[in-house]
Amino acid sequence: MDMATVKSIFKDDMLSGKTAIVTGASRGIGAAIAHRLCEVGANVTVCSRSTESVSQIESALKEKGYTVNAMAADVSLKADVEALVKETIAQFSQIDILVNNAGITRDMLLMRLKDEDWDAVLQTNLTGTMYCSREVLRPMIRQKSGRIINISSVVGLMGNVGQASYAAAKAGIIGLTKTIAKEVGTRGITVNAIAPGFITTDMTAKIPEDLQNKILELIPLQNFGIPEDIADAVCFLASDAARYITGQTLQVDGGMAM
């Protein structure tokens, strides 16, 4: 399990008293986001499909003195999402920030793509984001405030060979983000997306080295991102500094997609 290693530049009470849910928080970008939100004072519910993995991240964060609640939940299953939100409210009484980070890839050229792989990627990445967003809206509307931050991808903006399902899901997240932003803007809720470029995690470790080198050539800043780059963008969007930003997609990609 990896944990955020780069120190936060944000004030450690920036989100104190706030409660966040981070999906897919057992490793990679989600773990870094959970860690960063804890560092700036939020209470955080972490979830992933594996009880063992979320318990590990829960223990690691609790050892640092943070207030964390871990739950095994599969965002592609409506009942799991309902339980996730219910449990978070039971634990912390409110939900201020939802980070829809859980995501999977099942890469294959479209001609050979199996229906079940398409369905799995859309169900987790796009439908899961919709389930979680829909479920937190009622408590957020009641509170008259909330932040929903959806993790999309530059692939949703650019397309990518072998990633039809993933690109479609990530592009769908951008449309979903704008739509929810328009629907709940009057309720004090902002909804934004982040489109990471190539971030070093288990997900990108699967990409062959020669392809990684080709991707590197497309990045003006000439290095890959780290999970903390995304975690910092999440903290910004969750903070008061972003109060007037909604419906946007923030690219955190070293200039890859422009």
Ligand X SMILES: NC(=O)c1ccc[n+]([C@@H]2O[C@H](COP(=O)([O-])OP(=O)(O)OC[C@H]3O[C@@H](n4cnc5c(N)ncnc54)[C@H](OP(=O)(O)O)[C@@H]3O)[C@@H](O)[C@H]2O)c1
Q: Which residues contact 142 (CB under 8 A, 6 or more apart)?
A: none
Clarify whether 166 is annotated catalytic: yes
What's the closest the beta carbon of residue 244 comes to ligand X, in angstroms? 25
- Strand 19-23 to 43-48 pairing: parallel
What's the closest the beta carbon of residue 4 comes to ligand X, in angstroms? 12
Sign, CA dihedral 173-177-179-184, equals positive
Cα angle 88, 6, 170; round to 5:
55
What's the closest the beta carbon of residue 67 comes to ligand X, in angstroms? 20
Nearer to ligand X, 103 or 139 (CB): 103
Q: What is the DSSP code (8-state) at residue 195? A: E
**228, 4 in Cβ contact below 8 A?**
yes
What's the closest the beta carbon of residue 36 comes to ligand X, in angstroms? 13
Residue 241, Cβ neighbours under 10 Å: how many?
A: 12
SS3 222: coil
Residues that bind ligand X (CB under 6 A): 23-30, 47-50, 53, 74-76, 101-104, 124, 128, 151, 153, 196, 198-199, 201-204
**32, 57 in Cβ contact below 8 A?**
no
Nearer to ligand X, 10 or 198 (CB): 198
Nearer to ligand X, 94 or 200 (CB): 200
Catalytic residue, chosen from 66, 131, 166, 244, is 166
Nearer to ligand X, 206 or 240 (CB): 206
Looking at the annotation, which residues are catalytic?
166
